[in-house]
Each structure stands twice: as structure tokens, then as C-alpha cells.
Structure 1
Amino acid sequence: MTPAAFYAGSFDPITNGHLDVVRQACRLFDELTIGIGVNPGKQPMFSEQERLSLIKTVCGPIASEENCTLKVATFSDLVIFAARRAKSTVLVRGLRDGTDLDYEMQMAGMNERLAPDLQTVFLPASPNVRPITATLVRQIAAMGGDVTGFVPAAVAEKLAARFGTGDKGVIV
């Protein structure tokens, strides 16, 4: 039996890059908990409940396909506390590039100091999803751009409903 893993993020919104990490994690672990970080000081685009629902919708089939038990939880404290509540022993982190690596190495080091019982595992993003970030997806969607290549269909529909579609420019 493999250890249970915990994959934390804001997932606002969940992107194809996140799904890439989820797919890889589900291949490695029998159980994966996706932890949605809730920061009371930030105003997310999607509510906690919307993100929870979207994650279950788009990640559930991936977990089933890989024979992995998927759980989704929210947390507003340290990731190490949330991982322990989920009975996870591994923290999963996705890496897109060297900038991510520098930041994630710092986080892994701090987490190890705070919780030596938790192991961080880095999963490299597949080349086709490396440039995708939730921040860029939100910006593109807010400005009327097509995000269908960057997010699952259910997320694209939610974004389209939130922002509408069409040309936002004016030609004079």
C-alpha cells in the first residue's frame, strides 16, 4: 500500500496544469486529498463551494480511472496541519519551471522543519501545460479570451458564465 498524498492549492480555477499533477499523483498513490486553501484575506473568483464542486467534477473521473481514492477538503491553516487531518504522509507539489523549483524548495524545507513526518514529492508538469497558471487563466477570461485550451470544459463553462463572451473592444 502506498502512502496517502495531499495536494494543496487555491485552485481558483482548477486548470489543465493542476489536472496533470492530479493524474500523476493518482498513478503514484492509492489515496489523494486535494486541499483547497482558503485565505480570508483574499477574494477568490470562485467560492469555496464552487471550487470544491469543480474539483470533484473534473478530478473524480481521473482518480477512478487510476484506481485512486479521491478526497477534497478545504483548509485555512498551515498545509501541514491539513495534511495531517487528511492522514496524508506525502505533500505533492507540481513544478513548471526553475522559478517554481526555487520557491517550492523553500516551502519543502520549511515544511520539513515544521513536520519531519511529512515528505514532499515534486511532480514535473508535462510540456503542454507548463505555461498555464490560474492567474493567467483568470486574466484571459476576464478580458474575453478563449481559455478552453487551458482548463477543463466544466471550468470553461463557469468562466464563460461569469464573464460572458464576445469582443470587449471598441473600434473608432
Structure 2
Amino acid sequence: MKKTALFAGSFDPLTNGHIDTISRAAIVFDEIVIAVSTNTSKQSLFDGEQRIQLVSEALRDFPQVRVIRHTGGLTIEMARDVGACALLRGVRNVKDFEYEHSIASMNKLQAPDLETVILLSSENYRYLSSSLIKEVAMFGGDVSTLVPANINAAILQKFKDSAFKGNKITE
């Protein structure tokens, strides 16, 4: 039986921490479906189509990874749609764990047959977040060692094409 995990997130942008989680999960799962979603509570750096393209390109060397758009609705429904037996989550710290634990508990109530697999971040990525990447890049910092090369190039282009005004980027 094929073991498929669903890893949902905004991936705005995808970081080397995400890739580390995916590469370690690839040891356990036959297929990992990356569901790129929109986080309406955050200002996006890249639109949905750009993120799908960037994530797909960054993960092209992972044959067992498939990238799709999160269609909205409950993640457990998307997991069922793609045939996943598990939701994949990465946690950096206790705060992340507590949040993911509460979500996993609700998911288990809604979908008893669906497991949540939580991987602890590798030591060198415990501080890393997409929000931090965006903030550092916005102020001209170097994020090239924190994201895949194609995403670094897209970030550089995005900020080159944008005007910095106060604490907001406008195009």
C-alpha cells in the first residue's frame, strides 16, 4: 500500500527548513503532496501561482513530491482527495508544537483514520520562518543560504521591482 503524506502550507516563501522536513519525510513516505495555500492573515510576497511554480522548481529533484494548489476548505478533506494517510507537519519549538498539537487533535476528531506526523526541525533551521525571511529580505539582508537558489532569485527580483515605503512593500 502506497503511503502518501499531505504537507500543507503557504510556503511564502519555501525555506530550506521546509526542504529539510520534506527530505526527511521522504524516507518514511512513498509520496508527499505539497499543498500550497493562501494565508489570508498575512501579506503575501508571491501570489498563489508564483508560489506553486517556485515550490515545484525548488523540489524538482524529489521524484516522490507532487505540488498542488490547496483548494480551500478543510485540509483533512484535501488529504482524503489525494489519498493521504497522514498530514505532515514540521515544528521548530514548543510554541509550534502546542499549535500543531491542537490542530492535530481537531483533525483526529474530524478524521479518525488520518494521522498527523510531526517532525522536529533540524537544529540549524529552528529559528527559520518564512516571515523572518521576508523581513530580512525587505531590509536588504542576504537570505541566499536560507532558501533554494530559485527562490532567492525571485526574492531579489521582487524587492528590486518594489519600492520600500515605511514597513510595506508596494509594487
Instruction: Show the counterpart of 1:72.
Output: 67
Partners of 1:37 and 1:50 in 2: CA distance:
12
Instruction: Show the counterpart of 2:113.
Output: 117
Instruction: Show the counterpart of 2:78.
Output: 82
Please state which structure has a larger fraction of its residues in helix: 1
My pick for the range that moved more, 1-10 or 105-114, is 1-10
TM-score normalised according to structure 2 size? 0.88
Structure 1: state its 5+ residue gaps.
Answer: none
Partners of 2:41 and 2:131 in 1: CA distance:
17
Pairwise CA distance, 1:151:
0.6
Partners of 1:71 and 1:18 in 2: CA distance:
14
Structure 2: state its 5+ residue gaps.
Answer: 165-171
Consecutive aligned runs of 4 or more in structure 1 exceeding 3 Å deviation: 39-43
Change (3 A) 1:42 1:126: closer
Pairwise CA distance, 1:59:
1.3
Change (3 A) 1:48 1:87: same
Give the RMSD, CA atoms, in angstroms: 1.7
User: Of 148, 152, 156, which aligns to 1:156?
Assistant: 152
The answer to whether the Cα contact below 8 Å between 1:2 and 1:28 also exists between their aligned partners in 2 is no
Instruction: Write out aligned runs for 1:92-111 (5 A).
Output: 92-111=88-107
TM-score normalised according to structure 1 size? 0.88
Partners of 2:43 and 2:73 in 1: CA distance:
17
Partners of 1:57 and 1:43 in 2: CA distance:
23
Q: How many residues are paired up?
A: 161
Q: Work out the percentage of aligned pairs sharing the same amino acid.
A: 37
Work out whether 1:29 is the aligned partner of 2:29. yes
